[in-house]
């Protein structure tokens, strides 16, 4: 993740050196709302050979309070659903309905230049809650339902460079660490209802928002990559198998500033 972030910065910063923006012409209202559809591809793997992938669609909303040399606070929510298909380690076909949801709050401080590209940098800390539901359906051999829910702490930054008074390119990075994650298992004919814990690991989300904001209203294309890791853990009644998700997608925001 660190290597990818550095590579993105190396690509963005030299290009930004050719821009010169008048800070007074930028629409720098402190309150920003972003709302729109989200589409992404999920690749899910478990140790033992199980693999699934599919496309999810939903909605994401963001509020940011940003001001030059001011305290920052913000919040974000997302909901999405879709179907995953794949196979087990024994080559049995599987299919599931996958729901994904999260809510997050952030607090930090904004630094911003008034010359050059009017670069903005906002480091922050945050706290959030996330939930995944994976319900297996035919032709899966068993129709077990899994609900993974966890709270997490976050550390990251928002950044933005202006190429002209109405066009900006950003790099936003969030690193997350789960707290006491738990998976609730239902529809298991052999063991009934039970819960599984797992080893909490670092997760991350990287976004590259491209925003066109000529006035209060604007639009934003927000490509992103997200990595989630839930570590294997030996326990009773069943061991939790190491699980990883790699996510590529984009948001299409309508933005409003005031």
- DSSP string for 6-42: HHHHHHHHHHHTT----GGGS---SEEEEEEEEEEEE
| Residue 194, domain member (yes or no) | no
Work out how many domains the chain is built from and give that number. 1
Per-chain mean pLDDT for the chain: 89
Q: Any idea of the CA torsion for 252, 254, 257, 258, to the nearest 10 degrees?
A: -150
Place of tokens 């491209």: 210
Token pair for 243: 């699980």
| Residue 183, domain member (yes or no) | no
| Residue 112, domain member (yes or no) | yes
| Residue 181, domain member (yes or no) | no
Mean pLDDT value of segment 51-59: 98
| Residue 228, domain member (yes or no) | no
pLDDT at 174 over 60: yes
- Looking at residue 24, its pLDDT comes to 67
| Residue 94, domain member (yes or no) | yes
- Looking at residue 5, its pLDDT comes to 45
d(CA 244, CA 43): 8
Mean pLDDT value of segment 120-124: 97
| Residue 15, domain member (yes or no) | no
pLDDT at 94 over 50: yes
121 lies in which domain range?
29-139+148-163+233-251
Token pair for 153: 């702490």
pLDDT at 23 over 80: no
pLDDT at 254 over 80: yes
* Percent of the residues in the chain that have a pLDDT greater than 90, as a whole number: 69
Split at pLDDT 50, 70, 90, the class of 25 is low
- Looking at residue 124, its pLDDT comes to 98
Helix (H), strand (E) at residue 169: strand 167-170
Place of tokens 């609730």: 184
- Looking at residue 171, its pLDDT comes to 97
State the pTM of this model: 0.88
| Residue 2, domain member (yes or no) | no
């Amino acid at each position: 993740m660190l290597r990818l972030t550095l590579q993105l910065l190396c690509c963005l910063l030299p290009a930004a050196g050719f821009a010169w923006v008048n800070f007074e012409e930028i629409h720098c209202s402190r309150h920003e709302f972003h709302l729109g559809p989200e589409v992404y591809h999920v690749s899910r793997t478990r140790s033992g050979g199980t693999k699934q992938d599919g496309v999810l669609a939903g909605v994401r909303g963001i509020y940011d309070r940003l001001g030059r040399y001011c305290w920052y606070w913000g919040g974000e929510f997302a909901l999405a659903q879709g179907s995953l298909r794949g196979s087990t380690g024994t080559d049995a076909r599987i299919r599931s309905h996958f729901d994904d949801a999260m809510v997050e709050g952030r607090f930090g401080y904004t630094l911003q230049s008034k010359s050059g590209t009017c670069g903005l940098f906002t480091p922050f800390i945050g706290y959030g809650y996330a939930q995944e539901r994976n319900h297996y359906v035919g032709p899966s051999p068993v129709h077990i339902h899994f609900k993974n829910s966890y709270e997490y702490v976050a550390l990251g930054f928002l950044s933005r460079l202006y190429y002209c008074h109405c066009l900006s390119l950003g790099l936003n990075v969030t690193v997350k660490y789960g707290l006491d994650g738990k998976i609730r298992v239902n529809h298991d004919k052999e063991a009934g209802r039970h819960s599984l814990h797992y080893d909490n690991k670092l997760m991350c989300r990287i976004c590259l928002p491209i925003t066109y904001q000529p006035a209060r209203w604007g639009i934003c294309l927000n490509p992103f990559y997200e990595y989630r890791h839930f570590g294997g853990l030996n326990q009773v009644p069943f061991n939790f198998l190491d699980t990883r998700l790699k996510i590529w997608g984009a948001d299409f925001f309508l933005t409003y500033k005031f």
